[in-house]
Chains A and B, each alone.
Chain A
């Protein structure tokens, strides 16, 4: 049984792509409501770890627990349902449909979760003022700046009120000021909602928004530091 204080846990997770090992036994626990940064150099396995924990990628061995249940033993349909209902995702880019308007993009996951059209669009529109992008509802996301697009992506990820928000290099394509705005919103709203956040980043300034950081090196993630642990 998974520890009840931990909403999400990876235990000795291993994953290889062909002959290339990406994770060589990663162990990591995320507390409810925690904002955790996963750091590490390129190719260290940090994104693979996030994908395994989010049920996007199936580990070769090891266990992934979510809310007291094994996630890695679910079939694809079960994992897909979990991703749709309990998890939100923000990636560096690519998660928005550029031909659709911003509100269509935010309403999409709600519609996939069988919300009525009216409810989906009412909820979607309610997110725009919270992210400081009111008046952009009808604009196509393909015509937006990087910072605006990432705010729409955050709205889309949080609109279903997920238990966990997974963010992989969420500000990787943004300049310093836009990154700051995006992280500010992401952290403030997540804390208010009590959403657990897992952020993969190579950027220490982004990791500094988190409660704790974990270093992934050579496919292992056993070096964890909390605010208290780091106060040496």
Chain B
């Protein structure tokens, strides 16, 4: 139960940053934003329009984005152009460069970060290296814990966490080796 809540929470957080990343490239309308999100991040799980506007209103409320130019209310649905604010850009930068703690959905968040870094023409390898370092540091702590523990169940619990961290690391290594073709694929879809 707790892990489900955590998963939903962090997935929501990930969506917000992915949206911020798209707007960070250039100001965008809600409809275009959804299309871009589905293209880059959500091929298997497209974003519902409700989620798009809920995310945008949260980002507006938190002053991470602002509407730009005149709202076009005359014909059809209301169209607003959203642009990232300085606060939003700083927050996005902090999110990108801060290594994630290990969670059930770490890989989803890591993937979102890699794609966002590529979209913003930043260096995903720098971020992945920082994340790698944080993962190995956690593995060191767990290895020390299991070496010093007299309890077999505690050692086995540490083993479980170690194997999961190792799986994340393997994914990071494979991704690091494939950043160039991934960036090419994303640019082609742009």
Interface residues of A (CB under 8 A from B): 41, 184, 204-205, 207-210, 213, 215, 217, 223, 225, 227, 229-232
Contacts and interface: CB of A to CB of B under 8 A. Distances in A.
Given A204-B139, A208-B139, A208-B162, 9 more contacts: A41-B173, A204-B135, A205-B166, A209-B140, A210-B140, A223-B129, A231-B137, A232-B98, A232-B99
Contacts of A227: 137, 140
Nearest to B177: A41
B60 interface: no
Nearest 4 interchain pairs by C-beta: A230-B137, A208-B139, A208-B143, A225-B133
Q: Which of under 10, 10 to 19, 20 to 34, or 35 or more describes the interface residues of B?
A: 20 to 34
Interface string B9-25: 00000000000000000
A41 B173 CA distance: 8
A41 B178 CA distance: 12
A143 to B, nearest CB: 31
B167 to A, nearest CB: 10
Contacts of B135: 204
B136 interface: yes
Contacts of B132: 215
B56 to A, nearest CB: 31
Interface string B142-159: 110001000000000000
Contact of A208 (B98, B136, B173): B136
B84 interface: no
What is the interface of chain B mostly: helix, strand, loop, or mixed?
helix
Given A231-B137, A232-B98, A204 B130 contact: no
A230 to B, nearest CB: 4
B169 interface: yes
B107 to A, nearest CB: 15
12 contacts: A204-B139, A207-B136, A208-B162, A209-B140, A210-B140, A215-B129, A215-B132, A225-B136, A225-B137, A229-B133, A232-B133, A232-B134
Contact of A205 (B133, B139, B147): B139
Contacts of B129: 215, 223
A213 B165 CA distance: 16
